[in-house]
């Protein structure tokens, strides 16, 4: 042990040296303490960042376990090529149909003679005769008509899992004195001189786009029923029907754009890249009127990307109130006059995802507040718009006021970057759009209505796997538009498409209103 120093024995120089030495030691110790404090602060920051990242990764794992997004590969396998063949055939048929229409206005060259390759319909199928005769069997000159023969055409029909044949018999009548022949005219048909009835065409479309059965599966089903219908034939029918239905879908789109409030949403749909054996991400955009609107319907728009231009092109000059999520693709439209209406279901979903992973008092209380808003909506659902708005004003507005104050207070105590902070930030950032529904009884509280209408695409893409081209994707969107709009209006889509396909070939532009799902009434069987 070092003996204590007697300061009285030290001179001034020695005392000064000792003081300087002690000050240096104190300085070194203070520097070490400062360095230690900095190191501890750096460690605390690293621990904080790791905690946030761990929370984020744990959250992502929980979501992945629930959703299980995507497939292991985007490559096209052998089974997918079967579907591609169907889509190529459909596109070819649609293009041929459009070319035929364009060619109708110009002189046609002499048709080439070729031997028909169509097989006769199986003789064992039951047959129903339809007779088409002139209304009168007396000539204008007073002489009687004499029946000299008939023309018979057969159309394949499908009903409740079984095939039958419609025999259309057109009697030939002659005026012997006038030396002329009279026959009842042939009704216009979607596929001129084709064998399918409109009922069979509707069946093929419903099976593919509503029941999600690719054409190669339908081919197998029909073969078991005793009729061979090659995929190429079915694809030809689908392509031609898609062309015929396009004007009706465009007319429905124009009717939807007359409404001041619309829903919008989008979902991915793989599309085969031209010239490549891979798919890339295309998108189905859905636009629908609200449940409160006088016209109920949804229109799908197939686009090669998720660019906001797709939405702007579809909505064009429309300047109403758009109910949507927080996707940036809609923002440009809001800058040009559209009004954004927020979705409380999306805000609620942020807190619900937190509860799925673990108990969160903040998320639980937020969900309680939002649940109170939905309790008000259940009471207001069947009320007229003005009464719905008054009920929201008295019952929902106080809840929303308390919710905002509580969220703001909770956010001030949270660290940036945590899941709870992000969930609260999402809600507060969109607050003006979220509360807009309080001031208008025609506005819905969320975007769930159109999300329900887009759900069939999520089911269908597991069976279709991909769209073969932009044309085939839009054709599917057109058929799905009419099928889903028919369902919304409580119609049997099979009966609706059967009747519409029968009436469209002879319909004028002024007749399209009556063929829209919300106006449709069954016509005369053709």
If phi over 0 gives left and psi between -120 and 50 gives alpha, with beta otherwise, what is residue 212? Answer: left
Res. 336: pLDDT tops 90: no
Per-residue pLDDT reduced to its tens digit, 377-405: 999 998 999 999 999 999 999 999 999 99
Res. 330: pLDDT tops 70: yes
Res. 507: pLDDT tops 60: yes
pLDDT for position 98: 64
Res. 104: pLDDT tops 70: no
pLDDT for position 89: 64
d(CA 301, CA 246): 12
**Percentage of the chain lying above the pLDDT 90 cut:** 40
Task: Give the residue-averaged pLDDT of 260-285.
Answer: 84
- Residue 297, φ and ψ in degrees, nearest 5: -175, 165
Close Cβ partners of 422 (under 8 Å, ≥ 6 residues apart): 350
d(CA 420, CA 416): 9
Sign of CA dihedral 346, 350, 352, 353: positive
Task: Give the residue-averaged pLDDT of 177-183.
Answer: 78
pLDDT for position 410: 92
pLDDT tier for residue 69 given thresholds of 50, 70 and 90: very low
> Does residue 200 or residue 460 have the better pLDDT?
200
**C-alpha dihedral over 212, 216, 219, 220, to 10 degrees?**
-90
pLDDT tier for residue 68 given thresholds of 50, 70 and 90: very low
Per-residue pLDDT reduced to its tens digit, 410-443: 999 888 888 889 899 999 999 999 999 999 999 9
Task: Give the residue-averaged pLDDT of 315-341.
Answer: 91
Domain ranges of the chain: 343-446
Q: How far is CA 206 from CA 227, 284, 287, 291, 479, in A?
A: 19, 19, 21, 24, 9
pLDDT for position 106: 47
pLDDT for position 416: 87
pLDDT for position 38: 86
pLDDT tier for residue 491 given thresholds of 50, 70 and 90: very high
Q: What angle do CA 337, 266, 334 make, to 5 degrees?
A: 10
Contact assessment for residue 200 and residue 222, using Cβ atoms and an 8 Å cutoff = no
| Least confident among 222-226, 278-282, 348-352, 476-480 | 278-282
d(CA 419, CA 407): 14
d(CA 443, CA 433): 11
pLDDT for position 405: 95
Res. 24: pLDDT tops 50: yes
Res. 119: pLDDT tops 90: no
d(CA 251, CA 228): 36
d(CA 296, CA 215): 30
| Least confident among 64-78, 170-184, 349-363, 380-394 | 64-78
pLDDT for position 467: 65
């Amino acid at each position: 042990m070092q003996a204590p120093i007697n300061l009285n024995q030290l001179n001034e120089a020695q005392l000064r040296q000792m003081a300087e030495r002690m000050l240096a030691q104190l300085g070194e110790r203070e520097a070490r303490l400062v360095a230690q404090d900095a190191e501890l602060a750096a460690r605390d920051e690293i621990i904080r960042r790791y905690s946030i990242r761990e929370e984020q990764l744990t959250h992502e794992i929980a979501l992945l376990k629930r959703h299980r997004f995507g497939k292991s590969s985007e490559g096209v396998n052998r089974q997918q090529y079967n579907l591609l063949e169907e889509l190529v055939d459909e596109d070819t048929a649609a293009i041929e149909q459009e070319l035929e229409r364009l060619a109708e206005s110009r002189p046609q060259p002499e048709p080439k003679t070729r031997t028909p390759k169509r097989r006769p319909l199986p003789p064992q199928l039951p047959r129903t005769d339809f007779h088409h005769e002139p209304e009168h069997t007396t000539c204008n000159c007073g002489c009687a008509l004499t029946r000299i023969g008939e023309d018979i055409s057969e159309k394949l029909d499908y009903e409740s899992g079984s095939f039958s044949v419609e025999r259309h018999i057109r009697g030939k009548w002659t005026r012997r004195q006038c030396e002329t022949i009279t026959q009842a005219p042939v009704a216009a048909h979607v596929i001129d001189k084709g064998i399918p009835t409109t009922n069979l065409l509707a069946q093929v479309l419903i099976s593919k786009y509503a029941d999600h059965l690719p054409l190669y599966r339908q081919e197998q089903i029909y073969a078991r029923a005793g009729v061979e219908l090659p995929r190429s034939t079915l694809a030809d029918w689908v392509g031609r029907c898609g062309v015929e239905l396009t004007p009706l879908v465009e007319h429905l789109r124009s009717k939807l754009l007359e409404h001041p409030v619309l829903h919008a949403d989008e979902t991915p749909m793989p599309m085969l890249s031209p010239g490549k054996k891979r798919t890339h991400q295309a998108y189905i955009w859905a636009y629908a009127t609200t449940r409160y609107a006088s016209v109920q319907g949804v229109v799908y728009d197939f686009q090669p990307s998720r660019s906001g231009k797709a939405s702007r092109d579809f909505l064009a000059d429309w300047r109403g109130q758009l109910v949507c999520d927080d996707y940036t693709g809609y923002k440009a439209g809001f800058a040009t006059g559209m009004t954004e209406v927020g979705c409380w279901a999306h805000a609620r979903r942020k807190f619900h995802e937190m509860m799925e992973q673990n108990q969160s008092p903040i998320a639980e209380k937020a969900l309680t507040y939002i649940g109170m808003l939905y309790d008000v909506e259940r009471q207001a659902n069947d009320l007229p718009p003005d009464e719905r708005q008054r009920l929201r004003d008295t019952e929902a507005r106080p809840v929303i006021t308390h919710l905002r104050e509580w969220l703001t207070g909770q956010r001030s105590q949270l660290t940036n970057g945590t899941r709870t902070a992000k969930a609260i930030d999402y809600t507060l950032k969109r607050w003006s759009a979220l509360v807009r529904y309080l001031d208008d009884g025609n506005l819905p509280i969320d975007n769930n209505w159109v999300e329900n209408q887009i759900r069939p695409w999520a089911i269908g893409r597991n069976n279709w796997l991909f769209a073969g081209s932009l044309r085939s994707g839009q054709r599917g969107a057109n058929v799905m538009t009419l099928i889903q709009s028919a369902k919304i209006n409580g119609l049997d889509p099979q009966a609706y498409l059967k009747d519409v396909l029968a009436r469209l070939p002879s319909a004028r532009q002024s007749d399209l209103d009556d063929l829209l799902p919300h106006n449709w009434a069954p016509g005369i069987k053709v």
